[in-house]
Amino acid sequence: MRDIEEPAEDVTVSAPKTWATGAPAVAHALTYALGQTSPKRTALTLLNINQARGFDCPGCAWPEPAPGHRHRNEYCENGAKHISDEATSRRVTREFFERHPVDELNGRSDYWLNQQGRLTEPMVLREGARHYEPIGWDEALDLLATELRGLDHPDEALFYTSGRLANEPAFLLQLLARAFGTNNLPDCSNMCHESSGSALNETLGIGKGSVSLDDIYDADLVFVVGQNPGTNHPRMLSALEETKRRGGQVIAVNPLPEAGLLRFKHPQKVRGVIGRGTDIADQFLQIRPGGDLALFQMLNRLLLEAEDEAPGTVLDGEFIAAHTTGFAAFADHARRITWPQVERATGLSREEIEQVHARVLRSRSVIVCWAMGLTQHKHGVPTIREVVNFLLLRGNIGRPGAGVCPVRGHSNVQGDRTMGIWERMPQPFLDALEAEFGFKPPSAHGVDSVDAIRAMRDGRAKVFVGVAGNFVRATPDSDATERAMRNCRLTVHISTKLNRSHAVCGRTALILPTLGRSDRDVQAGGEQFMTVEDSMSEIHATRGRLAPASEHLLSEVSIISRLARKVLGAQPDIPWETFESDYDTIRDRISRVVPGFEDFNARVRRPGGFRLPNPVNSRVFRTPSGKAVFTTNDVTVLQAPKGHLVLQTLRSHDQWNTIPYAMDDRYRGIKGGRRVVLVNPADLADLGIADASRVDLVGVWSDGVERRAPDFRVVAYPTSRGSAAAYYPETNVLVPLDSVADISNTPTSKSVIVRLEPATV
């Protein structure tokens, strides 16, 4: 295979697309797959995605239809690219590390590092060395165990995970951390749906979505807010197409006219490939960033006023009286929101919002879906609380076709939380661990991702262990984070592919290569499978089918189990060796610790698996009052100072989180480069900046530190006034570490105040 070259930035721009998917998407996926591996391996890989006896697509957490209702190709263009990226035939060998010293790797792009292929054997970077060198598994794990045991306090260790981890290794990792004595389990969710968890736990008593796929199909009205499904959850478009076919409507709320929100051509149906496709959004609200709280509060005021006019016909009075608290204070507050406030916060007209209100009145059942456009703002938690208020008013919780739908990102990010990957797991979970394993887990909360960076920066954390993920690129304030990582005594990454976190490391560093989702996993007890939980609480098995990328790889379960034996010894008495050889024995333990997993091994073997109960769907709310909670939330108007813009950092069509797969963003009409900033033409005119000119993005934040992302090409683009958009992770350098969402501590990646300066390079 030819050498990988650093991609050149040579941007061309055409008009954004008004529809998503269809035949070109299938072709794009196949081209990427065939660039990574052979046609045979491509076929074997793609045909096993999301089949009942295959593996779960790691592309996103959108659920699969019930077995029997799946397409032979139940995956999307981007899922296929993602899995081909893992199934690549390219390999990173010890010779590679001999050729490339760490300081060189450090200067390489995320794209180039990822394109080198799968990691093949454990490597160590010894203190003062310039190159990673091979190390045996035993020695590598001894090195890590010795460092962990030598710490003054278990809280000096950090165990980061990303939502790629399946349930079994996730359960073992939190067990290891807690038996070792720390709750320091930061995860990618801290930067993702933490605001959803915070808001939903407080108001509904459970931090998860309540709807199923059938609910989506049956809803009269679905809101898609702060989400770009055409790129990030393409299979969601098939579900919305079904909603429309059954007579439902869709309202999209977004600063950008994203292709998938407008029109959709189903790639696996004839009418999708050759026809015009389905119009998805019946109404598109081009909102200003951060305006959603004001929008939903005004919708709530309008509902309250409609009820005044026709008492007993608009609100679900019975539901409110029987199942909620806080209504009076909420209503009093919501009634006071004014049109000028809402128009300023949202940039929407009164007429548009009244039109939405009319649709809401006509709809018996309503669902609100959302993703990063709501969660990654300073007021992300109050915004989602206001969404809950909106649904509670008409009893749109706990009945068919209605409910909350935070659309998760990583394929098992929700499952990891269920398994105990959380720095603040509630006491009943810790008690259940104690009862099952006979040790007392620490009860003091651990650190989340942002606090983990602070802890490393301040020398309070000394050993960083990352299982999956790419911590230094996923986190905010890249310069500060890189300094923090370098401040560690030891950094360790359990990974499938090379990324920048391997190059920006502690004084000593380990790379521990592991099996991916698509790799066959054979242990002493025979061939193993693992399990995952999707965005709608469905639990099912995932089985790799491909020959592993190298004979030296260990599964995540093996690595964690072997490490645990070295770190913990025989105390407490946990059968790590048995766990490693037979994953059923892990599931037995899970079934006794985690509610809803009774009879886990039997139920997960049924085709399609099973769904975890969500008490909200029986209108049981596990809040302190036992009722759903109405809240009062103050409206924020997000406005950049004169001469500045509100920048959101988002994903292109050709990337998977921190990893670009190619330099294009097809639906937005961008080709050949990632250093672009999308700005409304009227704002460009106001700022006196020409389309296609080159600028630096300069962050403005109260600490006075200048944060600069150099050399971006300006693209005049129909984004809402006053806002701009550019890709993550190139722009993470602009997100201040201390700029976080209230309550959830999530970095405010969707509202970074910047100005554009002529490029300095």
Determine if 409 is a binding residue for Mo ion (CB under 5 A).
yes
Q: Six-digit token pair at 467? A: 């299982």
Contact call for residues 581 and 588 (beta carbons, < 8 A): no
* Per-residue mark of binding to ligand MGD, 11-40 (x: CB under 6 A): ------------------------------
Closest CB 299 distance from Mo ion, rounded Å: 27
Determine if 257 is a binding residue for ligand MGD (CB under 6 A).
no
- Round to whole Å and give the CA distance between 179 and 160: 16
Interface stretch with ligand MGD, choices 288-296, 522-530, 584-592, 681-689 (CB under 6 A): 288-296
Q: Which of 717, 749, 754, 755 binds ligand MGD (CB under 6 A)?
A: 749
Closest CB 405 distance from ligand MGD, rounded Å: 13
- Round to whole Å and give the CA distance between 460 and 444: 16
- Round to whole Å and give the CA distance between 308 and 312: 9
Q: Six-digit token pair at 296? A: 């939903």
- Within 347-448, where are the H helices? 350-362, 372-375, 380-393, 413-418, 427-437
Contact call for residues 677 and 725 (beta carbons, < 8 A): yes
Output 233 or 462, the one with its CB closest to Mo ion.
Answer: 233
By residue count, the chain amounts to: 761
| Kind plus residue range of the DSSP H or E element containing 329 | helix 327-334
Binders of Mo ion among 465-504, rule CB under 5 A? none
- Round to whole Å and give the CA distance between 379 and 750: 11
206 binding partner (options Mo ion, ligand MGD, none; Cβ < 5 to 8 Å by kind): none
Determine if 231 is a binding residue for ligand MGD (CB under 6 A).
yes
Interface stretch with Mo ion, choices 170-178, 185-193, 398-406, 615-623 (CB under 5 A): 185-193
Angle between helices 234-245 and 77-86 (to 10 degrees): 160
Q: Which of 212, 365, 470, 478 binds ligand MGD (CB under 6 A)?
A: 470
Closest CB 728 distance from Mo ion, rounded Å: 11
Interface stretch with ligand MGD, choices 43-51, 330-338, 345-353, 366-374 (CB under 6 A): 366-374
Determine if 656 is a binding residue for ligand MGD (CB under 6 A).
yes
231 binding partner (options Mo ion, ligand MGD, none; Cβ < 5 to 8 Å by kind): ligand MGD
207 binding partner (options ligand MGD, Mo ion, none; Cβ < 5 to 8 Å by kind): none
Binders of ligand MGD among 615-654, rule CB under 6 A? 648-651
Q: Which of 143, 145, 157, 192 binds Mo ion (CB under 5 A)?
A: 192
469 binding partner (options Mo ion, ligand MGD, none; Cβ < 5 to 8 Å by kind): ligand MGD
Q: Six-digit token pair at 102? A: 């760490």
- Round to whole Å and give the CA distance between 82 and 166: 17
- Round to whole Å and give the CA distance between 346 and 225: 13
Determine if 744 is a binding residue for ligand MGD (CB under 6 A).
no
| Kind plus residue range of the DSSP H or E element containing 592 | helix 583-593
Of 264, 128, 190, whose CA–CA distance to 454 is shortest? 190
- Round to whole Å and give the CA distance between 421 and 176: 11
Binders of ligand MGD among 97-156, rule CB under 6 A? none
Q: Six-digit token pair at 417? A: 């939380």
| Binding-residue total with ligand MGD (CB under 6 A) | 59
Of 178, 724, 753, whose CA–CA distance to 422 is shortest? 178
Output 324 or 501, the one with its CB closest to Mo ion.
Answer: 501
Q: Is the peptide bond before 729 cis (omega within 30 degrees of 0)?
A: yes
Binders of ligand MGD among 235-254, rule CB under 6 A? 253-254
63 binding partner (options Mo ion, ligand MGD, none; Cβ < 5 to 8 Å by kind): none
Determine if 666 is a binding residue for ligand MGD (CB under 6 A).
no
Output 495 or 591, the one with its CB closest to ligand MGD.
Answer: 495
Of 634, 637, 631, whose CA–CA distance to 337 is shortest? 634
| Kind plus residue range of the DSSP H or E element containing 324 | strand 324-325
Q: Six-digit token pair at 189? A: 């969710």
The SS3 assignment for 670 reads: strand
Output 377 or 644, the one with its CB closest to ligand MGD.
Answer: 377
Helix, strand, coil percentages for the chain (3-state, nearest 5) = 40, 20, 45
553 binding partner (options ligand MGD, Mo ion, none; Cβ < 5 to 8 Å by kind): none
Closest CB 622 distance from ligand MGD, rounded Å: 25
Closest CB 161 distance from ligand MGD, rounded Å: 8
For 177-309, list the strands marked E by DSSP.
221-225, 249-253, 263-264, 278-279, 283-285
Determine if 729 is a binding residue for Mo ion (CB under 5 A).
no
Determine if 410 is a binding residue for ligand MGD (CB under 6 A).
yes
Q: List residues near Mo ion by CB under 5 A.
A: 192, 409
Q: List residues near ligand MGD by CB under 6 A.
A: 59-60, 78, 162, 164, 188, 191-192, 225-228, 231-233, 253-256, 258, 287, 289-290, 292, 371-373, 377, 409-410, 467-471, 474, 494-497, 499, 514, 516-517, 556, 648-651, 655-659, 728, 732, 735, 749-750
